[in-house]
Amino acid sequence: MSDHVAIAPDVKLGSNVKLSKFINLYGCEIGENTKLGAFVEVQKNAKIGKNCKISSHTFICEGVTIEDNVFIGHGVTFINDTYPRATSNGGRLQTETDWKVESTIVRRGASVGSGATILSRVTIGENAMVGAGSVVTKDVPPCAIVAGNPAKFIRFIDDGPGTDPADYTPPGHTLRWAGRSGAFGKR
């Protein structure tokens, strides 16, 4: 390993993982054949699957799960707290005991464009595509293309499972995808 790579002893690396210089990994799992670009940080309790490409300058925080065959572009930021604060009500600096990690899932085969920000408590569906610079504030259906700030539904990718929006109900929800409006609602 290079002097310019910080890997804590509790990191679980799969076989044939490719690591660039200037990365910071601690308490995380990286699946086999995954490639991490320069200046990537992956925090504890984050999981990255097999055959993923994580491009340079990306921040993957605690609570993020990235499944197999996912592409993450340059400078993507994941968020794990809806209401971050530096201090508690009493004025002391917050610690891990002062807040709860909110999870995010990027499903198998999804692609997230460079410069995107992914807020907490969202799922990016299987084979979905997030446009560069997007801010993802809600779940993205499988095989959907979303873009913008906030990210809005553009269309479904032709070919592939899950292309009918009527078939999609996000995990933990009773509402169904409302199609072109880029929102969830009763159908």
- What positions carry a catalytic annotation? 57
**Residue 13 amino acid letter:** L
72: its two tokens:
């993450």
Decide if 174 contacts 168 (C-beta within 8 A).
no
Q: What is the rounded distance in angstroms from the CA atom of residue 101 to the CA atom of residue 107?
A: 19
| Residue 102 amino acid letter | E
Say if residue 141 is preceded by a cis peptide, omega within 30 of 0: no
- For residue 181, the SS3 value is helix
Task: Judge whether 57 and 42 are in contact, CB under 8 Å.
Answer: no
Joined together, the tokens standing for residue 144 give 């959907």
